[in-house]
Amino acid sequence: MRLKDKVALVTGSSSGIGRETALLFAAEGARVVAADINAGDGEEVVGQIRAMGGQAAFVHADVSKAGDCENMVAFAEETYGRLDILFNNAGIMHARDDNAISTGEDVWDLTMDINAKGVFLGCKYGVPALRRAGGGSIINTASFVAILGAATPQIAYTASKGAVLAMTRELAVVHARENIRVNALCPGPLHTELLMKFLDSDIKKQRRLVHIPMGRFGKAEEMARAALFLASDESSYVTGADFVVDGGITSAYVTPE
């Protein structure tokens, strides 16, 4: 088991990448703290983990709130005695996120609060816990759009994920000598509820698909496997990386055949 005896905190664990990662981390031996604003689905994930013989506990957390982030880290330490892995994964893609002219300030602020501030707050309270454990791994979910402009406008989301990349690099440099590794997972377009709701028409979906060399949307479980590598000791010399898992979209724009 690649995460035996590790304690992992996963935010946004009720669906998509977070859900698949919580399940996989548990299967690989981690004791998982599933954090989410959605208690019903979060508890369901915990139930699944326990049903397969794993250890997990749920904690309610709105990652845009400092108190909730402080509490989720404290909960992990109180429940399992330590924290080794922090996966700052929670995020939103707002339906009214568009270009700079059309996007409302409220959409911008909400997106930044969850996607960027949420990562900051996770690290603010998570780093001291990792120090107490003697080191560990932080994984922040960014996106391919932080590297490559999106064909479908989503200015707040893109900017928020760019902020995640910048934070990740700085955190990696600052904490490298403390045995704390910090990396950004950059997924390509995924067949998740989050993206499918945003790309709410076949035309929008095709505008994304046409640029992916592999010709398909990625899967949440594929991102979970990438997160597992970053969480495990197999990536012991990897820090400050933009870990891109995107079907080739950032390597080359392709045109329809």
The single residue of 80, 125, 157, 237 carrying the catalytic annotation is 157
- Range 129-153 average pLDDT: 93
Cα distance between residue 64 and residue 78, in whole Å: 22
Task: Look at residue 162 and tell me if it is in a domain.
Answer: yes
Overall average pLDDT of the 201-214 stretch: 72
**Stretch 218-246: mean pLDDT:** 97
Q: How many domains does the chain have?
A: 1
Question: Torsion angle of alpha carbons 145, 147, 153, 154, nearest 10°?
Answer: 50
> Across residues 133-162, what is the average pLDDT?
94
In a domain, 1, yes or no: no
Residue-averaged pLDDT of the chain: 93
User: How far is residue 105's CA from residue 220's CA, in Å, rounded to a whole number?
Assistant: 30
Domain that residue 76 falls in: 7-187+219-245
φ, ψ dihedrals at 64, nearest 5°? -80, -5
Q: Is 50 exceeded by the pLDDT of residue 257?
A: no
The mean pLDDT value for 75-95 works out to: 97
Is the pLDDT at 250 greater than 90? The verdict is no
Q: Lowest-pLDDT range, 17-26, 110-119, 245-254?
A: 245-254
Q: Is the residue at 51 inside a domain?
A: yes
Average pLDDT over residues 136-148: 96
Average pLDDT score over residue span 1-10 = 97
Q: What is the pLDDT of residue 124?
A: 98
Cα separation, 230 vs 245, whole angstroms:
12
Mean pLDDT of 144-155: 88
* Residue 157 designated active-site: yes
What's CA 25's distance to the chain center, in Å?
14
Cα torsion for 173, 178, 180, 183, to the nearest 10°? 10
Return the pLDDT at 179.
98
The pLDDT assigned to 252 comes to 65
Residue 202: inside a domain, yes or no?
Answer: no
What's the average model confidence in pLDDT over 156-180? 98
pLDDT band at 149 (very low <50, low <70, confident <90, very high): confident
pLDDT confidence of residue 7: 98
> Could you tell me the CATH number of the domain that includes residue 226?
3.40.50.720
Is 224 within a domain? Answer: yes
In the chain, pLDDT over 90 holds for what percent of residues?
A: 81
Query: How far, in Å, CA of 132 to CA of 128, rounded?
Result: 6
Coil, strand or helix at 122: helix
Q: Tell which residue, 19, 25, 22, has the closest CA to residue 4.
A: 25
Residue 165 makes CB contacts below 8 A (sequence gap 6+) with 142, 146, 147, 184, 186, 242
Least confident of 66-70, 77-81, 117-121, 244-248: 244-248
Residue 147 inside a domain? The answer is yes
For the residues 227-232, what does the mean pLDDT come to? 98
Residue 256 resides in a domain: no
Overall average pLDDT of the 88-98 stretch: 95
> What residues form DSSP beta bridges with 32?
8, 56
Q: What is the pLDDT of residues 20-76, one digit of tens each?
A: 999 999 999 999 999 999 999 999 999 999 999 999 999 999 999 999 999 999 999
> How far apart are alpha carbons 109 and 18 in whole angstroms?
23
The reported pTM is 0.93
User: What average pLDDT score do residues 96-120 get?
Assistant: 98
Whether 254 maps to a domain, the answer reads no
